[in-house]
Homo-oligomer: A and B are copies of this chain.
């Protein structure tokens, strides 16, 4: 007869504190066993329990007890991660922060706010709208601030405003043993110690559980213009993006959809008046005069690269129609081949290598015989392919993974990285040793061991297990 498991022992101690916010309900556990993207090939494991925290103190109590009982804890936010960051390990607790939705403070006079980890950017921006402010980091999906910090998220706004790394000033987080820590603060810069905020951003829940975020806000630009234009070839579209960066044009957003992705978007969004051709979406921001001036420069540049049907919109409604097609790209892919699932690549290279990488990736896709629309945050040298896999087709699954790896290795050989914004999780872990040298990996391991000696925080993710 075996005794209770470690998670069971922890649950007995947690139950009096959390009541029905601690649950072993199978539907809820199943919901916490995976996220939107990659699934572990043998994914049948569920977390032993799901615990819904409401406060930093809840998280502290949970970790203190789980630390004492040696129970692995997997922090869970919006469940939108794509690389297996939320995949359970045996006898673990999924610590769900999605009920931590308080916007604690908005300071228009400091252009900052403080939110609980479960707040989504959509919720925050809705609340900020009347104050003329917004938070610019916009990954796809209803991601939470905690999750966006944990994966170092970015999106279409990164080109102008930077990623989470640039837009988070400070954090409240809970260490593996339950101690609460404040990092950073409310100022725009500081030189007072190791950058613990930056260390936790992108740590994928392996070093601490983020419970509150002090974020930098930005004024909504006075004027915004949007342009869409189509190109005869993928190469000419990418080359246009590269020139925009190299010329230092102050473009706010710049996104590329290839012909396959445009075909999917046209069908999904009833996006009429465009053809299934490589297409660039631009957003220009600033004062009315500067937006108009930028438009002229951009139009010239686009035309010099063979871009056509440059369509320009400054009215909000018209702009929203244009950008909605871009924002719906992932869902358009899913609807393009109903029942298929997608593996998303997220390679990034220095801007001058982007044309070579993207045209190479496109050739790889064509050679694979698979369908894989391309959508790119090309201003950052970053793009995604959503490799579509038919249901129950083991051969296609195998070829899709091979294609995924081939594109990433192309990026690495061009001086790039395996992920621009989705992170490592489990799915991209094999590339950690290809991208980083042994000394860098051993420093990551040393930091993990120093902060979480019992290895209870999202164990096995990010830093590969075989790094000494």
Taking beta carbons and an 8 Å cutoff, which residues of A are in contact with B?
Answer: 107-112, 151-154, 158, 162-163, 165-166, 175, 179-183, 185-196, 198-199, 201-203, 207, 218-219, 221, 242, 245-248, 250, 286-287, 289-290, 293-294, 346, 348-352, 380-382, 415-424, 428, 431-432, 435-437, 439-444, 446-447, 449-451, 462-463
Q: Are B181 and A439 in contact (CB under 8 A)?
A: yes
Given known A-B contacts A182-B437, A187-B420, A446-B450, A219 and B192 have beta carbons under 8 A apart: no
Q: Are A189 and B348 in contact (CB under 8 A)?
A: yes
A420 / chain B contacts, CB cutoff of 8 Å: 187, 189-191
Q: Are B191 and A152 in contact (CB under 8 A)?
A: yes
Q: Are B417 and A190 in contact (CB under 8 A)?
A: yes
Q: In the bound complex, how far is the Cα of B286 from the Cα of A203, in angstroms?
A: 37
Q: In the bound complex, how far is the Cα of B218 from the Cα of A352, in angstroms?
A: 15
Looking at the complex, which one of B219, B247, B248, B444 makes contact with A196 (CB distance below 8 Å)? B444
Q: Chain B's nearest CB lies how many Å from the CB of A217?
A: 10
| 5 residue pairs from A and B, CB less than 8 Å apart | A183-B440, A187-B348, A198-B199, A219-B247, A447-B451
Number of copies: 2
Q: Are A191 and B424 in contact (CB under 8 A)?
A: yes
A436 / chain B contacts, CB cutoff of 8 Å: 182, 192-193
Given known A-B contacts A162-B166, A182-B437, A293-B290, A191 and B422 have beta carbons under 8 A apart: yes
The 4 lowest CB-CB distance pairs between A and B, nearest first, are A219-B248, A198-B198, A181-B439, A109-B352
Q: Chain B's nearest CB lies how many Å from the CB of A174?
A: 9
Q: Are A449 and B450 in contact (CB under 8 A)?
A: yes
Nearest CB in chain B to that of A108: its residue:
B246
Q: Chain B's nearest CB lies how many Å from the CB of A349?
A: 6
Q: Chain B's nearest CB lies how many Å from the CB of A214?
A: 10
Q: In the bound complex, how far is the Cα of B108 from the Cα of A219, in angstroms?
A: 31
Looking at the complex, which one of B185, B193, B293 makes contact with A424 (CB distance below 8 Å)? B193
Nearest CB in chain B to that of A219: its residue:
B248
Looking at the complex, which one of B181, B289, B290, B418 makes contact with A440 (CB distance below 8 Å)? B181
Given known A-B contacts A424-B193, A444-B193, A218 and B151 have beta carbons under 8 A apart: no
Q: Chain B's nearest CB lies how many Å from the CB of A334?
A: 23
Q: Are B189 and A380 in contact (CB under 8 A)?
A: yes
